[in-house]
Structure 1
Amino acid sequence: MARTLNLIGAGHVGRVLGRLFAATGAFALQDVLTRSQAGAQDAVGFVRVGRAVPSMDRMRSADVWMLAVGDDQIGPVCAQLARCQPLQGAIVFHCSGARSAAELAPATQAGALVASVHPIRSFADPAQVAQHFGGTFCGVEGDCAALAVLTPALEAIGAQPVPIDAQAKTVYHAASVFASNYLVTVLDAALRAYQAAGVPEPVARALAQPLASESMANVFRLGAAAALSGPIARGDMDTVARQQAALAAWDGPTGALYAALVAPTADLARRKMDDNGKDKT
């Protein structure tokens, strides 16, 4: 018999994991609780199994509890769970990338094993993610006994669990922000700068796409230092200064963003020079 699973919080992440755990038989999903009964019923429709419940005290006991709630709600929801439900010997885990399993201290005090599981991808389209979840990396940390149960369950849905240092959880999550959110911000600056030079927005995207795509491909193929090109990599700091001044005159925040990236890019260029100077024999 598969271990039973209850889901608290049924946003995009909770729905996708709930559907996949249930569909593969990794866990037997029982009850779903979210902010409203209608929301819970909608989530059950997506997951295709389970029972929508109106309150935590109406949930059945379970072997595993998934808290797919907002970061600021993990502690309060866990405390409420510990008050409402018997947790001795159960597994309680959350899905935050920014908070560690230590946020689940009330569950630990109630005798539960705790962990965190953070899928490293965008969940903007839950149906699409559920269909193509295979290969998704998941940062995991927490009690070894909890991970001994959660790791094979994640592997059953096609995930690739990656152990991370709980003490560096915030830095770990910031890495995902750099790789996804801030990348979009930088590309937006590029598109707006093209448009400031008279290039229509659709053409600006066409101009930026090969540069961005090739640069990212080179980073993942060669490493960041080897992939770096452009004026800083060439040591052309006069061009950098002119660009920074022009951007600052055009749009202050964009100029500040450019300026903030000069020093780390110069450091990357030095690493590239050091790598090029190493004996490859």
Structure 2
Amino acid sequence: MQSLNIIGAGRVGRTLGRLAVVSGACRVVDCLARSHESAREAVSFIGQGRAVDALKDLAAADLLLLSVPDDAIAGVAQALLASGAVRPGSVVFHASGAAEAEVLAPLRAAGAHVASLHPAFSFANPARAVEQFAGTLCALEGDAAACVALQDFAAAIGARPFALAPGGKAAYHAALSVASNYLVTLTELARQLALQGGVGEQLLPALLGPLMQGSLANALSMGPQAALTGPIVRGDVATVARHLAALPADMQAVYRALGERTVALAGARLPAEAGQSLRAVLAGG
């Protein structure tokens, strides 16, 4: 059985550590956190391991998880290298969604293989996360040997690992941000416009919810182009012009940008002449 050390035993570290123990994927050896009390709480939750106070106190382990804030990963990696706690052949990985494995590159000097493993999952409550984690997609990138080891680790704790293209981490994370954060922002824009049109606040969930949920379900099941409906795919230039006229100035740029992308998405479903007219209106012509 492989051994695992956890550096930064917060919500993600605790959850992955507990899953490793419950599944039998790894034996948790040491946990290091910002305070000894936090490390002890992590060990208690995980059900295995030893709380340590410094990197130099870490015992040797096959896998080392750096579950620390993104802007701290590079510094911790440098300190870990200086501590001598990394042995040749070990796998050091972080769980950041945005940072690439290369932030751990200095540890290769100690003979380590480096990678990142990002679970597309919310870890707000570790106890609930452990119960709901099964089937979670985990993005892997980094050194080949590290990715092989982490693919086995992820599968053992019930995840569905998949590989990212080299250098693809930023685009991957942007995709998650667009799908999650920007969907929320679009919801707020739709709310503001509906309120401007006289819709009562209490009706907004019933008005927008089914429409947004249905559109998302169709886009995911049918593909975005086939799921597309509305004035742009119909070539309804006059309606798009009325929309723009009704929009507050600060929303027009968003509508125009999304409209241009929607014209492109409509593709062959939209007659060429209508596409040209729509592009002209959206460009302010």
The TM-score normalised by the length of structure 1 is 0.89
Offset, 1:230: 1.1
Note the residue ranges of structure 2 that are not aligned, 5 or more in a row.
272-285
Q: Shift of residue 266 of structure 1?
A: 1.3
CA shift, 1:59, in A, is 1.9
Within 5 Å, give how 1:165-244 maps onto structure 2.
165-244=165-244
1:178, distance to aligned residue in structure 2 (A): 1.2
Measured against aligned partners, the alpha-carbon deviations of 1:109-154 in whole angstroms (never above 9, x if no partner) come to 1110111111123333433222111111111112222222211121
Aligned residues with identical type, % of pairs: 46
Give the conservation status (yes or no) of the 8 Å contact 2:86–2:112.
Answer: no
Instruction: Name the residue aligned to 1:143.
Output: 143
Shift of 1:30: 1.7
3-state SS, counterpart of residue 5 of structure 2: strand
Tell me the equivalent position of 2:89.
89
For the residues of structure 1 that align with 2:125 and 2:239, how far apart are their CA atoms? 41
Contact 1:120–1:137, Cα closer than 8 Å, also in 2: yes
Contact 1:248 1:256 in 2 (8 A): no
1:256 equivalent in alignment to 2:235: no
Q: Judging changes above 3 Å, is the alpha-carbon distance between structure 1 residues 11 and 195 closer, same or farther for their aligned structure 2 residues?
A: farther
CA distance in structure 1 between the partners assigned to 2:169 and 2:266 by the alignment = 28
The alpha-carbon distance between structure 1 residues 235 and 122, as it changes in their structure 2 partners (threshold 3 A), is farther
**Is the Cα–Cα contact under 8 Å of residues 7 and 68 in structure 2 kept in the other structure?**
yes
Distance 1:79 1:207 in 2: 53
Q: 1:103: how far off? A: 1.1
Structure 1 residues not aligned, in runs of 5+: 275-281
TM-score, structure 2 normalization: 0.88
Displacement of 1:273: 4.5
> 1:87, 1:107 within 8 Å by CA — same for their partners in 2?
no
User: What is the deviation of 1:215?
Assistant: 0.7
Pick closer, same or farther for the CA change 1:232–1:29 going to 2, 3 Å.
same
> Aligned residue pairs: how many?
270
Q: Give, in whole Å, the separation in 2 of the partners of 1:49 and 1:206.
A: 48
Amino acid at match of 1:229: T
> How far is 1:42 from its partner?
3.0
Shift of 1:35: 2.1
1:279 corresponds to which residue?
none
Q: SS of the residue aligned with 2:248?
A: helix
Distance 1:197 1:124, change over 3 A: farther
CA deviations over 1:241-262 (Å, ceiling 9, x no partner): 322332225xx2x443223211
